[in-house]
Amino acid sequence: MGTYHFHGGVSGVQNSFGDHNQNLLVANLDELVERVRAEQPAQTSEAEQLRDELVLAATQNRPVDQSRTREWLTTIREGAGASSGVLTLVTSLTALLGL
């Protein structure tokens, strides 16, 4: 029995494999902005700035500004309720970004 090690990217219309979680990240960012608008309108600006920075960094093929990203995530997290969707998304984004 052979063992195959595939190290290349896999992409296509119906999957998000090989895109370094970009599809998942963008979907989470869009959902975060919408949930923050609904659940904590005072932090909408931070959520939008976070999304804009991450999308811009991806299009410019550069690392994200980790200090600003951490700051925005912390501000949003502090305003989130204990069992809110915002808190879940912030936790997920923090893990995806490795922060």
Rg of the chain over CA atoms, in angstroms?
16
Q: What is the pLDDT of residues 11-27, one digit of tens each?
A: 444 444 445 556 667 77
Write out the chain's pLDDT in tens, 99 residues.
444 444 544 444 444 444 555 666 777 788 899 999 998 899 999 999 999 998 898 888 888 888 999 999 999 998 888 768 888 888 888 887 888
Residue 93 forms part of a structural domain: yes
Domain count, the chain: 1
Count of CB atoms situated within 10 Å of the CB of 27? 12
Give the model's pLDDT for residue 20.
55
Residue 1 forms part of a structural domain: no
Cβ 16 vs Cβ 39: under 8 Å: no
What are the backbone dihedrals phi and psi of residue 12, each rounded to the nearest 5 degrees, phi first?
A: 175, 175
The rounded Cα 9 to chain-centroid distance in angstroms is 20
Which structural domain range is residue 74 located in?
A: 22-97
Residue 56 forms part of a structural domain: yes
- Global pTM? 0.72
CA-based angle 95:98:99, to the nearest 5? 90
Residue 17 forms part of a structural domain: no
